[in-house]
Amino acid sequence: WLLRNVRPSLSQPPCADTVETLTSPNHTMMSRTLVISLMLLLSAVVFALPDTARKLGTPATEVVSRLSGDVDRRIAAPDPAPEHRSCASPSATNQERAIRDKQLRQRAVRERRNDDPLVSIKIAYHVITSSAGAGDVSDAMLAAQTQVLTDAFSGANVQFETAIINRVTNDNYFTNCRSADTAMKNALAKPTDEYLNIYTCSGGQYLGWAYLATTFTETDKRHGVVLRYSTFPGGAQTRYNEGDTGTHEVGHYLNLLHTFDNGCNPGDGVSDTAPEASPAFGCPANRDTCTGGGLDPIYNFMDYTDDACMNEFTPVQLNVVRAALENNKPLLLANSLTSDTTTTTTITTTTTTTT
Protein backbone atom coordinates (compact mmCIF):
# COMPACT_ATOMS: atom_id res chain seq x y z
CA TRP A 1 0.00 0.00 0.00
CA LEU A 2 2.78 2.42 0.88
CA LEU A 3 4.67 1.73 -2.35
CA ARG A 4 1.52 2.28 -4.42
CA ASN A 5 0.35 5.46 -2.71
CA VAL A 6 3.38 7.30 -1.37
CA ARG A 7 5.73 6.97 -4.36
CA PRO A 8 3.18 8.07 -7.04
CA SER A 9 2.44 11.20 -5.07
CA LEU A 10 6.13 12.02 -5.15
CA SER A 11 6.19 11.72 -8.96
CA GLN A 12 3.45 14.34 -9.36
CA PRO A 13 4.97 17.60 -8.14
CA PRO A 14 2.49 20.23 -6.95
CA CYS A 15 4.45 23.05 -8.62
CA ALA A 16 7.52 23.58 -10.78
CA ASP A 17 9.80 24.96 -8.09
CA THR A 18 9.53 21.74 -6.05
CA VAL A 19 10.26 19.25 -8.83
CA GLU A 20 13.99 19.44 -8.48
CA THR A 21 13.88 18.90 -4.71
CA LEU A 22 11.46 15.97 -4.75
CA THR A 23 13.21 14.08 -7.50
CA SER A 24 16.74 14.61 -6.32
CA PRO A 25 18.81 11.50 -5.48
CA ASN A 26 19.01 12.43 -1.78
CA HIS A 27 15.30 12.86 -1.46
CA THR A 28 14.61 9.61 -3.28
CA MET A 29 16.83 7.77 -0.79
CA MET A 30 15.00 9.44 2.14
CA SER A 31 11.66 8.42 0.67
CA ARG A 32 12.69 4.80 0.39
CA THR A 33 14.01 4.83 3.96
CA LEU A 34 10.71 6.28 5.19
CA VAL A 35 8.67 3.63 3.36
CA ILE A 36 10.77 0.76 4.73
CA SER A 37 10.59 2.16 8.27
CA LEU A 38 6.80 2.44 8.14
CA MET A 39 6.48 -1.11 6.81
CA LEU A 40 8.64 -2.47 9.63
CA LEU A 41 6.60 -0.55 12.20
CA LEU A 42 3.31 -1.93 10.88
CA SER A 43 4.70 -5.47 10.90
CA ALA A 44 5.78 -5.12 14.51
CA VAL A 45 2.31 -3.95 15.52
CA VAL A 46 0.59 -6.82 13.71
CA PHE A 47 2.81 -9.50 15.24
CA ALA A 48 2.50 -8.00 18.70
CA LEU A 49 -1.29 -8.16 18.81
CA PRO A 50 -1.66 -11.87 19.74
CA ASP A 51 0.95 -11.59 22.49
CA THR A 52 -0.70 -8.47 23.84
CA ALA A 53 -4.05 -10.24 23.93
CA ARG A 54 -2.46 -13.16 25.73
CA LYS A 55 -0.90 -10.92 28.38
CA LEU A 56 -4.23 -9.22 28.92
CA GLY A 57 -5.84 -12.63 29.41
CA THR A 58 -8.30 -12.13 26.55
CA PRO A 59 -7.91 -14.57 23.61
CA ALA A 60 -8.55 -12.66 20.41
CA THR A 61 -10.81 -15.34 18.94
CA GLU A 62 -12.70 -16.32 22.07
CA VAL A 63 -15.74 -14.77 23.69
CA VAL A 64 -16.62 -16.36 27.03
CA SER A 65 -19.97 -15.78 28.68
CA ARG A 66 -20.00 -15.94 32.48
CA LEU A 67 -22.53 -16.58 35.23
CA SER A 68 -22.16 -15.42 38.82
CA GLY A 69 -25.08 -17.20 40.49
CA ASP A 70 -25.12 -19.73 43.28
CA VAL A 71 -25.09 -22.79 41.02
CA ASP A 72 -21.66 -24.36 41.08
CA ARG A 73 -19.75 -24.59 37.79
CA ARG A 74 -22.66 -24.32 35.33
CA ILE A 75 -21.73 -24.87 31.69
CA ALA A 76 -23.78 -23.68 28.76
CA ALA A 77 -22.82 -26.29 26.16
CA PRO A 78 -22.27 -30.06 26.11
CA ASP A 79 -18.73 -31.40 26.29
CA PRO A 80 -16.02 -31.17 25.21
CA ALA A 81 -16.00 -27.36 25.39
CA PRO A 82 -18.09 -25.73 28.12
CA GLU A 83 -18.08 -21.99 28.42
CA HIS A 84 -16.98 -22.12 32.06
CA ARG A 85 -17.03 -24.15 35.23
CA SER A 86 -20.11 -25.45 36.98
CA CYS A 87 -20.88 -27.96 39.70
CA ALA A 88 -24.11 -28.71 41.50
CA SER A 89 -22.84 -29.00 45.06
CA PRO A 90 -25.44 -27.52 47.46
CA SER A 91 -24.48 -24.45 49.49
CA ALA A 92 -24.00 -24.83 53.23
CA THR A 93 -26.93 -24.08 55.48
CA ASN A 94 -26.44 -21.75 58.42
CA GLN A 95 -26.48 -24.76 60.73
CA GLU A 96 -23.82 -26.54 58.68
CA ARG A 97 -21.64 -23.44 58.71
CA ALA A 98 -22.01 -23.15 62.49
CA ILE A 99 -21.04 -26.79 63.01
CA ARG A 100 -18.02 -26.47 60.77
CA ASP A 101 -16.91 -23.24 62.43
CA LYS A 102 -17.12 -24.86 65.88
CA GLN A 103 -15.07 -27.83 64.71
CA LEU A 104 -12.47 -25.50 63.25
CA ARG A 105 -12.21 -23.49 66.48
CA GLN A 106 -11.68 -26.70 68.46
CA ARG A 107 -8.88 -27.78 66.16
CA ALA A 108 -7.25 -24.35 66.37
CA VAL A 109 -7.13 -24.69 70.17
CA ARG A 110 -5.50 -28.13 69.94
CA GLU A 111 -3.02 -26.94 67.26
CA ARG A 112 -2.64 -30.49 66.01
CA ARG A 113 -2.38 -30.06 62.27
CA ASN A 114 1.39 -30.58 62.00
CA ASP A 115 1.13 -33.82 64.00
CA ASP A 116 -1.88 -35.30 62.23
CA PRO A 117 -1.30 -38.97 61.36
CA LEU A 118 -1.14 -39.95 57.71
CA VAL A 119 -4.48 -40.88 56.18
CA SER A 120 -4.76 -42.92 52.98
CA ILE A 121 -8.33 -42.81 51.71
CA LYS A 122 -9.38 -45.66 49.43
CA ILE A 123 -11.30 -44.67 46.31
CA ALA A 124 -14.01 -46.76 44.72
CA TYR A 125 -14.38 -45.50 41.14
CA HIS A 126 -17.68 -46.20 39.39
CA VAL A 127 -17.08 -45.57 35.68
CA ILE A 128 -20.53 -45.33 34.13
CA THR A 129 -20.88 -45.54 30.37
CA SER A 130 -23.77 -45.64 27.93
CA SER A 131 -24.76 -48.77 26.05
CA ALA A 132 -23.09 -47.17 23.00
CA GLY A 133 -19.81 -46.93 24.91
CA ALA A 134 -19.78 -43.17 25.56
CA GLY A 135 -18.05 -41.93 28.70
CA ASP A 136 -15.21 -44.38 29.16
CA VAL A 137 -12.37 -43.39 31.49
CA SER A 138 -9.20 -45.48 31.22
CA ASP A 139 -7.37 -47.04 34.15
CA ALA A 140 -4.46 -44.70 33.44
CA MET A 141 -6.73 -41.64 33.73
CA LEU A 142 -8.14 -42.94 37.02
CA ALA A 143 -4.62 -43.44 38.36
CA ALA A 144 -3.70 -39.91 37.28
CA GLN A 145 -6.79 -38.51 39.04
CA THR A 146 -5.84 -40.31 42.25
CA GLN A 147 -2.39 -38.75 42.09
CA VAL A 148 -3.86 -35.28 41.50
CA LEU A 149 -5.93 -35.66 44.67
CA THR A 150 -2.93 -36.87 46.68
CA ASP A 151 -0.86 -33.90 45.52
CA ALA A 152 -3.62 -31.43 46.34
CA PHE A 153 -4.40 -32.69 49.86
CA SER A 154 -0.88 -33.64 50.91
CA GLY A 155 -0.69 -30.54 53.11
CA ALA A 156 -3.37 -32.09 55.33
CA ASN A 157 -1.37 -35.33 55.49
CA VAL A 158 -4.07 -37.00 53.39
CA GLN A 159 -3.36 -39.22 50.42
CA PHE A 160 -5.58 -41.32 48.18
CA GLU A 161 -5.34 -44.75 46.59
CA THR A 162 -7.39 -46.51 43.94
CA ALA A 163 -8.97 -49.57 45.54
CA ILE A 164 -11.95 -50.46 43.34
CA ILE A 165 -12.77 -49.81 39.70
CA ASN A 166 -16.39 -50.70 38.96
CA ARG A 167 -17.27 -50.35 35.28
CA VAL A 168 -21.01 -49.92 34.81
CA THR A 169 -23.11 -49.78 31.64
CA ASN A 170 -26.34 -47.91 32.30
CA ASP A 171 -27.92 -45.37 29.96
CA ASN A 172 -30.06 -43.76 32.64
CA TYR A 173 -27.24 -43.26 35.14
CA PHE A 174 -24.90 -42.01 32.43
CA THR A 175 -27.27 -39.49 30.88
CA ASN A 176 -29.38 -38.51 33.88
CA CYS A 177 -26.89 -38.84 36.70
CA ARG A 178 -28.04 -35.61 38.32
CA SER A 179 -31.73 -36.56 38.58
CA ALA A 180 -30.84 -40.22 39.20
CA ASP A 181 -28.18 -39.32 41.78
CA THR A 182 -29.77 -41.04 44.79
CA ALA A 183 -30.86 -44.15 42.90
CA MET A 184 -27.45 -44.47 41.26
CA LYS A 185 -25.60 -44.21 44.56
CA ASN A 186 -27.96 -46.56 46.39
CA ALA A 187 -27.33 -49.15 43.70
CA LEU A 188 -23.58 -48.76 43.31
CA ALA A 189 -22.00 -47.29 46.44
CA LYS A 190 -19.37 -49.18 48.39
CA PRO A 191 -19.50 -48.61 52.18
CA THR A 192 -19.05 -44.88 52.67
CA ASP A 193 -17.24 -45.35 55.98
CA GLU A 194 -14.52 -47.30 54.13
CA TYR A 195 -14.36 -45.69 50.68
CA LEU A 196 -14.63 -42.39 48.90
CA ASN A 197 -17.04 -43.28 46.10
CA ILE A 198 -16.38 -41.37 42.86
CA TYR A 199 -18.91 -41.73 40.03
CA THR A 200 -18.31 -40.71 36.42
CA CYS A 201 -21.08 -39.85 33.96
CA SER A 202 -22.10 -37.24 31.37
CA GLY A 203 -22.76 -34.68 34.09
CA GLY A 204 -25.49 -32.97 32.11
CA GLN A 205 -24.86 -29.24 32.46
CA TYR A 206 -22.43 -29.70 35.36
CA LEU A 207 -18.81 -30.72 35.75
CA GLY A 208 -19.48 -32.34 39.11
CA TRP A 209 -21.01 -32.20 42.57
CA ALA A 210 -20.72 -33.50 46.13
CA TYR A 211 -22.50 -33.08 49.44
CA LEU A 212 -20.76 -31.53 52.43
CA ALA A 213 -19.65 -33.92 55.15
CA THR A 214 -22.15 -32.30 57.54
CA THR A 215 -25.18 -32.90 55.28
CA PHE A 216 -25.85 -36.56 56.11
CA THR A 217 -24.65 -39.18 58.58
CA GLU A 218 -21.36 -40.77 57.62
CA THR A 219 -22.84 -44.03 56.32
CA ASP A 220 -25.42 -42.36 54.09
CA LYS A 221 -24.88 -43.57 50.52
CA ARG A 222 -25.51 -40.11 49.12
CA HIS A 223 -22.00 -39.11 50.18
CA GLY A 224 -19.39 -39.28 47.45
CA VAL A 225 -18.33 -37.30 44.38
CA VAL A 226 -19.84 -37.23 40.89
CA LEU A 227 -17.59 -36.07 38.03
CA ARG A 228 -18.11 -35.46 34.36
CA TYR A 229 -16.04 -38.16 32.67
CA SER A 230 -14.17 -35.71 30.43
CA THR A 231 -12.69 -33.74 33.37
CA PHE A 232 -10.17 -36.44 34.28
CA PRO A 233 -6.49 -35.82 33.46
CA GLY A 234 -6.09 -36.05 29.71
CA GLY A 235 -9.85 -35.83 29.11
CA ALA A 236 -11.62 -33.88 26.39
CA GLN A 237 -13.01 -31.08 28.59
CA THR A 238 -11.28 -27.92 27.36
CA ARG A 239 -9.63 -25.99 30.21
CA TYR A 240 -10.91 -28.45 32.80
CA ASN A 241 -9.06 -31.67 32.02
CA GLU A 242 -6.22 -31.73 34.55
CA GLY A 243 -8.21 -33.38 37.33
CA ASP A 244 -8.95 -30.35 39.48
CA THR A 245 -12.71 -30.67 39.14
CA GLY A 246 -12.09 -33.77 41.23
CA THR A 247 -10.00 -31.75 43.70
CA HIS A 248 -12.74 -29.11 43.95
CA GLU A 249 -15.50 -31.67 44.58
CA VAL A 250 -13.50 -33.67 47.12
CA GLY A 251 -12.99 -30.32 48.85
CA HIS A 252 -16.79 -30.05 49.19
CA TYR A 253 -16.93 -33.69 50.36
CA LEU A 254 -14.57 -32.62 53.17
CA ASN A 255 -16.56 -29.50 54.13
CA LEU A 256 -14.82 -26.82 52.06
CA LEU A 257 -17.02 -24.07 50.63
CA HIS A 258 -16.48 -21.93 47.56
CA THR A 259 -14.09 -19.06 48.11
CA PHE A 260 -16.88 -16.72 46.95
CA ASP A 261 -19.53 -18.30 49.18
CA ASN A 262 -21.73 -15.52 50.65
CA GLY A 263 -19.72 -12.88 48.79
CA CYS A 264 -17.51 -10.37 50.55
CA ASN A 265 -19.22 -10.79 53.91
CA PRO A 266 -19.23 -13.24 55.64
CA GLY A 267 -17.48 -15.19 52.87
CA ASP A 268 -16.45 -18.84 53.12
CA GLY A 269 -15.70 -18.75 56.85
CA VAL A 270 -11.99 -19.47 56.29
CA SER A 271 -9.79 -16.80 57.80
CA ASP A 272 -6.91 -17.04 55.35
CA THR A 273 -8.81 -16.99 52.05
CA ALA A 274 -9.32 -13.46 50.77
CA PRO A 275 -12.96 -12.38 50.39
CA GLU A 276 -14.40 -12.69 46.89
CA ALA A 277 -17.67 -11.24 45.62
CA SER A 278 -18.27 -13.69 42.76
CA PRO A 279 -16.68 -16.67 40.99
CA ALA A 280 -13.53 -16.09 38.96
CA PHE A 281 -13.21 -17.70 35.53
CA GLY A 282 -10.15 -18.26 33.38
CA CYS A 283 -7.16 -16.99 35.38
CA PRO A 284 -7.69 -13.24 35.96
CA ALA A 285 -4.51 -12.12 37.72
CA ASN A 286 -4.86 -9.16 40.13
CA ARG A 287 -8.64 -9.53 40.35
CA ASP A 288 -9.99 -7.80 43.46
CA THR A 289 -13.77 -7.76 43.99
CA CYS A 290 -13.94 -6.94 47.72
CA THR A 291 -12.62 -3.96 49.63
CA GLY A 292 -9.85 -5.06 51.97
CA GLY A 293 -8.47 -8.55 52.52
CA GLY A 294 -6.25 -8.73 49.46
CA LEU A 295 -6.58 -9.95 45.90
CA ASP A 296 -9.18 -12.58 45.04
CA PRO A 297 -8.02 -16.18 45.68
CA ILE A 298 -8.08 -17.15 42.01
CA TYR A 299 -5.43 -19.85 42.49
CA ASN A 300 -7.49 -21.65 45.12
CA PHE A 301 -8.99 -25.04 44.29
CA MET A 302 -12.38 -23.86 45.61
CA ASP A 303 -12.79 -21.02 43.10
CA TYR A 304 -14.04 -21.50 39.50
CA THR A 305 -10.87 -20.76 37.54
CA ASP A 306 -9.31 -23.04 34.92
CA ASP A 307 -7.49 -26.18 36.06
CA ALA A 308 -4.18 -24.70 34.93
CA CYS A 309 -4.80 -21.75 37.26
CA MET A 310 -5.70 -23.72 40.42
CA ASN A 311 -2.82 -24.83 42.62
CA GLU A 312 -3.48 -24.33 46.34
CA PHE A 313 -5.39 -24.85 49.53
CA THR A 314 -4.66 -22.53 52.45
CA PRO A 315 -3.50 -23.80 55.87
CA VAL A 316 -6.90 -23.11 57.43
CA GLN A 317 -8.67 -24.93 54.59
CA LEU A 318 -6.45 -27.95 55.28
CA ASN A 319 -7.50 -27.68 58.93
CA VAL A 320 -11.14 -27.81 57.79
CA VAL A 321 -10.35 -31.03 55.91
CA ARG A 322 -8.90 -32.72 59.00
CA ALA A 323 -11.76 -31.46 61.15
CA ALA A 324 -14.25 -33.00 58.72
CA LEU A 325 -12.52 -36.37 58.94
CA GLU A 326 -12.33 -36.27 62.74
CA ASN A 327 -15.87 -35.07 63.40
CA ASN A 328 -18.00 -36.10 60.42
CA LYS A 329 -16.16 -39.11 59.00
CA PRO A 330 -14.51 -40.76 62.03
CA LEU A 331 -15.07 -44.29 60.72
CA LEU A 332 -13.52 -43.42 57.36
CA LEU A 333 -10.64 -41.82 59.26
CA ALA A 334 -10.12 -44.92 61.40
CA ASN A 335 -10.25 -47.18 58.33
CA SER A 336 -7.78 -44.96 56.46
CA LEU A 337 -5.02 -44.44 59.05
CA THR A 338 -1.65 -45.68 57.85
CA SER A 339 2.02 -45.14 58.56
CA ASP A 340 3.17 -46.33 55.15
CA THR A 341 3.41 -43.75 52.37
CA THR A 342 4.22 -46.44 49.79
CA THR A 343 1.30 -48.80 50.40
CA THR A 344 0.02 -50.37 47.19
CA THR A 345 -3.59 -51.51 47.29
CA THR A 346 -4.68 -54.38 45.07
CA ILE A 347 -7.24 -52.88 42.70
CA THR A 348 -10.46 -54.80 42.33
CA THR A 349 -12.14 -54.35 38.94
CA THR A 350 -15.77 -55.30 38.32
CA THR A 351 -18.10 -54.93 35.36
CA THR A 352 -21.84 -54.38 35.73
CA THR A 353 -24.64 -53.90 33.22
CA THR A 354 -27.87 -52.52 34.66
CA THR A 355 -31.06 -51.00 33.34
Q: CA-to-CA distance for 117 and 99, rounded, in angstroms?
A: 23
Nearest CA among 26, 4, 22, 2 for reference residue 12: 22
Catalytic-role residue among 62, 249, 276, 326: 249
Q: CA-to-CA distance for 337 and 330, rounded, in angstroms?
A: 11
Q: CA-to-CA distance for 140 and 147, rounded, in angstroms?
A: 11
* Residue 249 falls in the annotated catalytic set: yes
Nearest CA among 159, 193, 179 for reference residue 226: 179
Q: CA-to-CA distance for 77 and 68, rounded, in angstroms?
A: 17
At residue 296, what is the residue type?
A: D
> Judging by DSSP bridges, how do beta strands 72-73 and 208-210 pair with one another?
unpaired
At residue 233, what is the residue type?
A: P
Q: CA-to-CA distance for 74 and 76, rounded, in angstroms?
A: 7
Nearest CA among 268, 218, 265, 228 for reference residue 249: 228
Q: CA-to-CA distance for 260 and 100, rounded, in angstroms?
A: 17
Segment (H or E) for 39: helix 25-56
Q: Which residues are part of the catalytic machinery?
A: 249
